[in-house]
Structure 1
Amino acid sequence: MVSLTIKSYTVKDIRFPTSLDKHGSDAMHPDGDYSCAYVTLFTEDEQLTGHGLTFTIGKGTEVVVRAVESLMELVVGVKFNDIINDFAGFWRKLSSHSQMRWIGPEKGVIHLALAAVVNSLWDLWAKIEGKPLWKLIVDMEPEQLVSTIDFRYISDVLSKEEAIELLKSKRATVKDREKEIKEKGYPAYTTSIGWIGYDDETRRGLCREALKQGYTSFKAKVGDDIERDKHRLTLIREEIGYENKLMVDANQVWEVNQAIDWMKQLTQFKLLWIEEPTSPDDVVGHATIAKALKPLGIGVATGEQCCNRVVFKQLLQLGAISFCQLDSCRLGGLNEVMAVALLAAKFNVPVCPHAGGVGLCEYVHHICVWDYVSVSGSFENRMTEYVDHLHEHFIDPAKCSNGRYVVPKVPGYLVGMKPESITKYQFPDGDYWQSVKRKH
Structure 2
Amino acid sequence: MLHKIINLTVRDVRFPTSVEQHGSDAMHTDPDYSAAYVVLDTDRGLRGFGLTFTLGKGTEIVVCAVEALAALVVGKTLQEIVSDFRGFYRLLTSDGQMRWLGPEKGVIHLATAAVLNAVWDLWARSEGKPLWKLLVDMDPKQIVSCIDFRYITDVLTEKEAVDILVKAQEGKQQREDQMLKEGYPAYTTSCAWLGYPDQQLKQLCTDALKSGWTKFKVKVGADLEDDIRRCRLIRQMIGPNNTLMIDANQRWDVAEAISWVSRLSEFKPLWIEEPTSPDDILGHAAISKALAPLGIGVATGEQCHNRVMFKQFLQASALQFVQIDSCRLGSINENLAVLLMAHKFQVPVCPHAGGVGLCELVQHLILFDYICVSASLDSRMCEYVDHLHKHFTSPVVIQDAHYMPPKDPGYSCEMLEASVQKHQYPEGDVWKQHMNK
Query: What range is the shorter-chain TM-score in?
Result: over 0.9
1:340 alignment partner AA: V
By how many angstroms is 1:211 displaced?
0.7
Q: How does 1:62-141 map to 2 (within 5 A)?
A: 62-141=60-139
By how many angstroms is 1:25 displaced?
0.2
Aligned counterpart in structure 1 of residue 235 of structure 2, from 228, 234, 237: 237
1:118 alignment partner AA: L
Match of 1:289 in 2: 287
1:435 alignment partner, SS class: helix
2:54 alignment partner AA: T
2:168 alignment partner, SS class: helix
- Paired with 2:196 and 2:430, the residues of 1 have a C-alpha distance of 24
By how many angstroms is 1:438 displaced?
3.1
Question: In 1, are the aligned partners of 2:140 and 2:166 still within 8 Å (CA)?
Answer: yes
2:37 alignment partner AA: Y
1:233 alignment partner, SS class: helix
Identity rate of aligned residues, in percent?
59
1:437 alignment partner AA: M
Match of 2:244 in 1: 246
- Paired with 1:189 and 1:136, the residues of 2 have a C-alpha distance of 26
With 280-289 and 2-11 compared, the bigger mean Cα shift is at 2-11
Match of 1:395 in 2: 393
1:229 alignment partner AA: D
2:47 alignment partner AA: T
By how many angstroms is 1:11 displaced?
0.3
Residue 380 in structure 1 maps to residue 378 in structure 2: yes
Residue 335 in structure 1 maps to residue 333 in structure 2: yes
- Paired with 1:212 and 1:247, the residues of 2 have a C-alpha distance of 19
Match of 2:27 in 1: 28
Match of 1:38 in 2: 37
2:354 alignment partner, SS class: coil
Q: How does 1:88-237 map to 2 (within 5 A)?
A: 88-237=86-235
Residue 306 in structure 1 maps to residue 282 in structure 2: no
1:7 alignment partner, SS class: strand
1:25 alignment partner AA: S
What per-residue deviation string (whole Å, max 9, x for no partner) do you get for residues 32-88 of structure 1? 100000000000122x10000000000000000000000111000112101000000
What per-residue deviation string (whole Å, max 9, x for no partner) do you get for residues 264-314 of structure 1? 101110110000000000000000000000000000000000010000000
By how many angstroms is 1:172 displaced?
2.5
2:245 alignment partner AA: M
2:129 alignment partner, SS class: coil
Number of aligned residue pairs: 437
2:420 alignment partner AA: I
- Paired with 2:253 and 2:73, the residues of 1 have a C-alpha distance of 42
- Paired with 1:62 and 1:347, the residues of 2 have a C-alpha distance of 38
What per-residue deviation string (whole Å, max 9, x for no partner) do you get for residues 378-431 of structure 1? 110000000000001001011211111011111100110001101110000111
Q: Name structure 2 gaps, 5 residues minimum.
A: none
Question: In 1, are the aligned partners of 2:4 and 2:44 still within 8 Å (CA)?
Answer: no
Cα RMSD of the aligned pairs, angstroms, is 0.6
Question: In 1, are the aligned partners of 2:13 and 2:36 still within 8 Å (CA)?
Answer: yes
By how many angstroms is 1:436 displaced?
2.2
- Paired with 2:210 and 2:413, the residues of 1 have a C-alpha distance of 28
1:408 alignment partner AA: P
Match of 1:9 in 2: 8
Q: Name structure 1 gaps, 5 residues minimum.
A: none
- Paired with 1:216 and 1:45, the residues of 2 have a C-alpha distance of 46
Question: In 1, are the aligned partners of 2:131 and 2:364 still within 8 Å (CA)?
Answer: yes
- Paired with 2:218 and 2:90, the residues of 1 have a C-alpha distance of 37
1:171 alignment partner, SS class: coil
By how many angstroms is 1:435 displaced?
1.8
Runs of at least 4 residues off by over 2 Å: 436-439
With 427-436 and 102-111 compared, the bigger mean Cα shift is at 427-436
Match of 1:18 in 2: 17
